[in-house]
A and B are shown apart, each in its own frame.
Chain A
Amino acid sequence: MRAMKLNERSVAHYALSDSPADHAGFLRTWGGAGTPPTPSGTGRRCWFVLKGNLLFSFESREGRAPLSLVVLEGCTVELAEAPVPEEFAFAIRFDAPGVRPHLLAADGPAAQEAWVKALSRASFGYMRLVVRELESQLRDARHSLNLHRHSSWKAITSRCKPQASDHWSAGLENGHSLSRDCSPTALVEEGGSRPAGRGLAEWELQGPASLLLGRGQSPVSPETSCFSTLHDWYGQEIMELRRVWLQSTQGSQPECEERDRP
C-alpha cells in the first residue's frame, strides 16, 4: 500500500510559525504508532498546539519539529471514560469508519473543559459558518445604513462615487480599525501604520478587503501605500460624517456644496 504524500515540511513550518495558536497546553496522549490499540498506562505527556483545524503535538514546548498531527474535520470531541485511573480525559472520535479515536487527558477540570471547547470549534466548517453569518450581518448593517443615507443626502450621494459607504468600510486589510476620533491627525496615524502590513501582504494574501475589491466595490485599492490616495479615500468618510452631524444640528436639507478637500 503506497503511503499518501503530504507536504510535511510546509506543515511543520506552519506549526512552528508565529501565526496565532488557538489553544496550547500539556496533555497526556495514548496515540501514535507502536502503541497498543487500547490505552494503557499513564500515557505520554506532550505539548499540544491547536492551530485552526490542526492539532499538533511536540515533545516539549521548545520542540523544533511536531511529533504528530491530527486533522480536526469530521470528528466530535467528548469527555471520555478515562482509562483507569486517569481523570480529565476526552476523546476525539471520527465519523469515518476505521479511524481510531484519539484519547487525551488534561491536567485538571478547567483545562479539560477549555480543550474540549476549543477542539469542538476547530473545524473549518464551524469557522466558515461564523464568517458567513458575520458577512451577512455586515451586508445588512451596510444596507440599512445606505438606505438611511440615501434618503437623507440625495444631493451628496449624487456627487460621491457609487457605493461610497463601501469605500471606507472595505479597506482594512489587516483589520486595523479607524479610531472613533476622526480628526485628520488620527487619520495620519492610521495611514502611517498601514505600510507596516505590506511586508507580509504577499503572504498574508487575499485578505477580506481584497475580496471586496474583487467585487469591484472600490476603485481605490487599500493595498496602495500611496498615502495621499489613502488620505483622500478616508477623507470621504470624514466629509460624510461631517454632513450627518451638520444636518442633524441644523435640521435642514443639505445643500449641494462643493466638496472641499481636507
Chain B
Amino acid sequence: MRYNEKELQALSRQPAEMAAELGMRGPKKGSVVKRRLVKLVVNFLFYFRTDEAEPVGALLLEHCRVAQEEPSGFSISFLEDPERKYHFECCSEEQCQEWMAALRRASYEFMRRSLIFYRNEIQKMTGKDPLEQFGISEEARFQLSGLKA
C-alpha cells in the first residue's frame, strides 16, 4: 500500500493530544523494551527515538483495543489480530490511565459514534436536528443507521 511518508511526518509535527517518553515493546516475540517519545496526533500514535526529529513509525488507531498490562503499562492491539500487541510502559498508574483514556477516544470511529449519539439526544430533547446548522444533516456518515446494531 502506497502512502506519502512526508504527509505522515508532517502530521507527526502537529500539536499532540498527548506526548511522553514511554517504554515501548513491539509485537514480535522476543522484542525488547525501548525508550521512545510517543506522540498522539489525531488518530495516529507516532513513536520517535528520543533524539530524533522524524518518527520511527506510526500506528493508526482505528479498530484498536487498549488494555491495561501490569501495574502501570498498557497494550494496543488491533481487530484483525488481537494477540499481536504493542506494549507501553508508563512511569505511574496515573499516567497509564491518562494514556489509555486518551487512546480510546482517539479514533475517528469513536467521534462518529459520539456525534450520532449527541445528535440523537439533542433531537429527543429539543425536537431539532443540531446538524442542520452545519448543513450536514443528510450526510451518510452522520446517520443513526451508520452505527452497528
Most buried by B among A19, A172, A204: A19
User: How many whole Å from A78's CB to the nearest CB in chain B?
Assistant: 17
Interface of A is mostly: mixed
Q: Report yes or no: A32 in contact with B2, Cβ–Cβ below 8 A.
A: yes
How many positions in chain A have a CB within 8 Å of any CB in the partner chain?
A: 76
Q: In the complex, are the beta carbons of B58 and A175 less than 8 A apart?
A: no
Q: What residues of B have a CB within 8 angstroms of the CB of A9 in the complex?
A: 78, 80-81
Please, how many angstroms separate the alpha-carbon atoms of A6 and B11 in the complex?
13
Chain A proximity mask over B89-129: 1 for CB below 8 Å, otherwise 0:
00000000000010011011111111111111110111000
A8-B1, A205-B104 in contact; A141/B141 too (CB < 8 A)?
Answer: no
The minimal Cβ–Cβ distance linking B67 to chain A, given in whole angstroms, is: 10
Bitwise interface map of A from 72 to 84 toward B, beta carbon under 8 Å scored 1, else 0: 0110000000000
- The answer, yes or no, to whether A45 is at the interface (CB within 8 Å) is no
Chain A 199-228, CB within 8 Å of chain B: the 1/0 string? 010111111110100100000000000000
- Least CB distance from B2 to A in Å reads 4
Q: Within the assembled complex, what's the spacing in Å between the Cα atoms of A16 and B22?
A: 32
Q: Point out the residues of chain A lying under 8 angstroms from B126, CB to CB.
A: 141
- Is A151's beta carbon under 8 Å from chain B? no
B146 within 8 A of A: yes
Q: Does B3 lie within 8 Å of A134, measured CB to CB?
A: no
Asked if A137 lies at the interface with its beta carbon under 8 angstroms from chain B, I say: yes
List chain A residues, Cβ under 8 A from B81: 9-10
Please state if A100 and B4 are interface contacts (CB–CB under 8 Å): yes
Chain B residues within 8 Å of A209, by CB: 117
Instruction: Select one of B63, B104, B121, B141 contacting A13, CB under 8 A.
Output: B63
B residues bordering A, Cβ < 8 Å?
1-11, 13-14, 42-44, 54-60, 62-66, 78-81, 101, 104-105, 107-122, 124-126, 130-131, 134, 136, 139-141, 144, 146-149
7 residue pairs from A and B, CB less than 8 Å apart: A5-B57, A11-B1, A96-B13, A100-B4, A130-B131, A177-B120, A205-B107
Known contacts A71-B11, A141-B125; 19 additional CB pairs below 8 A are: A9-B78, A11-B60, A20-B146, A51-B108, A54-B108, A68-B1, A71-B3, A73-B14, A73-B42, A99-B7, A100-B4, A118-B139, A128-B111, A131-B118, A174-B147, A174-B148, A197-B149, A206-B104, A207-B110
